[in-house]
Structure 1
């Protein structure tokens, strides 16, 4: 689901897109196996590395990391191959495991499917204990299957609501200062009504509608509504009873009621130009919004539907090819790649929250007192993908080989609800379709 929209292509680089490749993944299910154990090898020689070709600054940061590693020692030489972003996941999907590189990057939600199809090996034995310990808990949650880690990322992602302080104050709207005093869903709805009364066209909210809701943006951006209502996209391998629970139906009715307040934002400038005072989006819009609003920009958590505020998380991550013959060398490169120097260079290039504890603590944007401190606070309270309690905030999208079906059906339901369909009917239909697909594929079990 890489769209032509330039802004969403940037969002895709933070691991929020690729619905078309995800759909393709669904068709390649049936592996029924598990990621194999890579051969350790000598720890010397040449290894191949694949990465998606993101924005120029990201590619430069990665190329510099490879050059630095190659020049810092003479045991291992990395040969880097950049593959166009639009083709990247499809390329991995279509490539036999024996032809995959020693080290490869992949979008977080695709990981379980690659494990299922025996294309990834656990990396626990090959990266250092220090590297694993330094990964944030949210980062590790995204990359774990069956107690083993198959992916570790350089950066993460997060959602929030950007607010225009001047417009909020002019309308007399009180807004949260952080997670501790987040809006309830009812308070958020009341804020929309108050803002509408002071707005010329009544359109006061941006939800990045131009990215489409029947897409990975729909799942990443609005599954937090489901989680905050106490529901889940998938629970114990089933969607029925979790995705279509009464609390989730009620929450989606509230979401549906916001449509009259939404600016379609066809030019991508609704918030930056001051047409709307609120924008429901992620960390990646901070540079543009900060430049446009300056001190009038405030960063707020998503509203609480009863189970605490929630956010999506997860992004591009790195792993080891299942058929590598040199796991030691692959691990040595990953240790270098995930160092503070390289993580900081990459997150400076793309503005994403660092996915390592040490780099996150020192980040000018995300450190305590930084302008995006909220995103770091959210990621510091990870839920994983199963234990979604009231006290945790950052939820990992379901780590399952069947994720392509889950996200496709939820996106369809969300789009239908936004278009006026009864939420109970849309969610029940989606839950039934997900469960039927999982039944047809033996639950996508990974031994």
Structure 2
């Protein structure tokens, strides 16, 4: 599988498949108060489980976990249904809550809308305290609304800047070794200038432009610019005064100035083939980049725009259907699925960051001293989307049923800015549109 195919399968991280489903969610977000509440049930019998069909290795890991669970005991039998990834979120959105499975997987940003539409139930009472305690803080943050957890994941995600040591050294560029000495935005720009002087076409940076910025990649990949500038996509349910502050406008002007250095990367190989020295992307590109560069590969945090370096996080998670009649059995399966053996098998299959403390500590890639320790270090410093401090690094995308509007409008603004539009006008327009939609929908308050 080539690098672009791998990237396109990372719907949980790059969100390439989220644009249509999230738009559909926005259209369907009515806050319906119909739909049954989860019932505990007997803890025995057959339960249905839905999951997205991903890479073959991911599918095999999940199928193996289900088969192992079924053979490990005789109280609960799981019937697994895999649904093609591009259709998955649309399928849940279009299915009445009463017809959804006992357990279902969902992509992180969609959770609040499913809760809003009574399709997910809190799982706190049905998974063990051990399972909850072993989930990383970032993992729990993605799945929490008003103190209740509606989802837990097997794996998480993160962003960074990959560098080509050979090209950086040739340009005399000193690069960061971790969070403690990350580049400021100004230093990042200086590095681009120095690299350009040694590059035949002056294109030294990959920003995954071919993915499009008016997509979920735009929000996942570049909301960290907003957060690092001290802004938010939403604060207290409003975008105005959070997304369009002078500091965010200035940061977006800097982002815009980088376009002259950017390789469009239409073939997906700009970094792997050495055309550029820097690539702004996530953990999922490590296998391809490591294979291509070997010891010349370095991993760095995103640049700091004044409020500390920031990164996105979040990925596919598991929850309990609100209409289940057997939540005890659902919880028993989730306890098994989120155990170290299955988490390790899944993250070995897809290269993602383990979302449980014990599996993360044992991971050869992400443990202390591992080549991707940076991503674990970032996830160890999480914060909510409206409480972004200097010291936290990974930020959860806004947990709101109105997220489809937030991501759509921010992506449109980002795309416009990259195309040359005035950042102040673009951000103010996005903030007004978001706030109008929230006003039209009573703030998307979850009943």
Separation in 1, partners of 2:206, 2:109: 25
- Partner in structure 2 of residue 219 of structure 1: 219
- Partner in structure 2 of residue 11 of structure 1: 10
CA contact (8 A) 2:14 2:217 kept: no
Separation in 2, partners of 1:295, 1:412: 38
- Unaligned stretches of 5+ in structure 2? none
Separation in 1, partners of 2:260, 2:433: 30
Aligned length: 444
Separation in 1, partners of 2:84, 2:171: 46
- Partner in structure 2 of residue 187 of structure 1: 187
Separation in 1, partners of 2:363, 2:34: 37
Tell me how far 1:252 sits from its aligned partner. Answer: 0.1
Tell me how far 1:400 sits from its aligned partner. Answer: 0.1
Aligned Cα RMSD in Å?
Answer: 1.2
Distance 1:163 1:60, change over 3 A: same
Separation in 2, partners of 1:6, 1:85: 13
Tell me how far 1:33 sits from its aligned partner. Answer: 4.6
- Partner in structure 2 of residue 82 of structure 1: 82
- Match runs of 1:417-428 below 5 Å: 417-428=417-428
Separation in 1, partners of 2:321, 2:243: 34
- Unaligned stretches of 5+ in structure 1? none
- Partner in structure 1 of residue 56 of structure 2: 56
Separation in 2, partners of 1:16, 1:142: 15
- Partner in structure 2 of residue 118 of structure 1: 118
Deviations 1:154-197 (A, max 9, x none): 00000000000010000000011100011000000000000000
TM-score norm. by structure 1 comes to 0.98
- Partner in structure 1 of residue 294 of structure 2: 294
- Match runs of 1:40-439 below 5 Å: 40-439=40-439
| Off by >3 Å, runs of 4+ in structure 1 | 32-37
Separation in 2, partners of 1:224, 1:145: 22
Tell me how far 1:384 sits from its aligned partner. Answer: 1.9
**Counterpart secondary structure, 1:388:** coil
CA contact (8 A) 1:14 1:352 kept: no
Separation in 1, partners of 2:35, 2:324: 12
Separation in 2, partners of 1:363, 1:300: 19
TM-score norm. by structure 2 comes to 0.98
Separation in 2, partners of 1:218, 1:94: 26
**Counterpart secondary structure, 1:11:** coil
Tell me how far 1:7 sits from its aligned partner. Answer: 4.0
Separation in 2, partners of 1:15, 1:262: 19
Separation in 2, partners of 1:384, 1:377: 17
**Counterpart secondary structure, 1:258:** helix
**Counterpart secondary structure, 1:443:** helix
Separation in 1, partners of 2:264, 2:395: 27
Deviations 1:288-316 (A, max 9, x none): 00000000000000000000000000000
CA contact (8 A) 1:35 1:116 kept: no
Distance 1:15 1:202, change over 3 A: closer
380-389 or 97-106, which deviates more? 380-389
Separation in 1, partners of 2:6, 2:74: 41
Separation in 2, partners of 1:179, 1:141: 21
Tell me how far 1:16 sits from its aligned partner. Answer: 2.7
Tell me how far 1:9 sits from its aligned partner. Answer: 1.4
